[in-house]
Chain A
């Protein structure tokens, strides 16, 4: 078999260091991915999703997204949550570290918005999330290559997703106070967790449900300042409209 000539080899070797995913982009994609997985987990046993549309449809059929939206008493945008999670980053091609909230946006929210708008905090996705349910693997684990090294944080992700789902169920059943309780627990356990954005969005909806509209609006303003491209933005801003 022939092999590649030296000039071709050199072209390849030169390109390798310039490829790859910048860290902020990787972190952003991971956060979106976790949100999609959290949404999809409820649908359970979904078949292989090969397209975004298929994935979104599956989730919408059985999943948290429909619960989420039912709770807001305004259907229609079922796809937006899931699809939005996939395209949110596309609008900005360069990895924006701390996107500035747009003026138009802050004006559109409420009169209080301009006072509250603040620079977006750096996202804490890469931080190890704290472990509460230290569910050690039951089966004996053979030491597998390099997988063991980064182990400590990962068991918390399913716990994080589960707690958020419980809160969303409470929200769907109209129990805003219970949802707030669970979300408080979530915040205490997973302050810098992967689903912070989803938690905040759920909290705003729960505040509306619990009749705390003023707080909800204030938090909504902070939310859009911190997550200007969030797929939940529309829902958050309209959260109290029907309460």
Chain B
């Protein structure tokens, strides 16, 4: 595989940018679930998804294939998600309480659902409650690294911060997440009959 030796050298034949509709069809799921993971509720995620793809539509010609499409999309969706969240104030969290409350809530809900569906809904709520306990910066890095399996360099490109900072945030985020899990378990144990 003869990869280009330098990044500044343009390939003789420039690849046509991917087609907009293909990008939507292939990546809409990833964009939407990432927006949810970043803390937007469903309606906000719907709006933000459209904002993201409005930007994609305008700028697709500028996409040069130097980064992966996913990295490029993440750069846009982080921007849109931050704007969406700017007007909302993060409510202070009683550590562990949100996750445990979510658990209690879905246990009530799930009586009305088939088992498998209830299990999935519960798992998602727990995950989001745990993500809610991270700071926005930690959360972004955590979502990209642990949920989308992106590499450190890709995360650095998407967030615009340097690699060391990415790893520092990721470490902090992992630690915070683990703590959240531990608190949730502790609460569960206490509330068990």
Give the B-binding residues of A (Cβ under 8 A).
1-5, 7-8, 11-12, 14-21, 25-26, 29-30, 32-33, 36-37, 40, 46, 48-52, 55, 86-87, 89-90, 93, 137, 139-142, 144, 146-147, 150-151, 153-155, 157
Contacts and interface: CB of A to CB of B under 8 A. Distances in A.
Interface stretch (B51-59, B88-96, B154-162): B51-59
A164 B13 CA distance: 34
A153 B18 CA distance: 13
Interface range on chain B (Cβ under 8 Å from partner): 35 or more
A146 B127 contact: no
Given A18-B121, A21-B33, A141-B15, 8 more contacts: A12-B146, A15-B123, A21-B28, A30-B28, A50-B80, A93-B43, A137-B16, A142-B15
B181 interface: yes
Interface of A: prevailing SS: loop
A147 B22 contact: yes
Nearest to B173: A4
Closest CB pairs A-B (n = 5): A18-B120, A15-B127, A14-B123, A154-B21, A15-B123
Contacts of A37: 54, 57
Interface in B1-46: 13-16, 18-22, 24-26, 28-29, 32-33, 36-37, 42-43, 46
B83 interface: yes
A151 B14 CA distance: 18
A48 B55 contact: yes
Contacts of B32: 20-21, 26
B178 A4 contact: yes
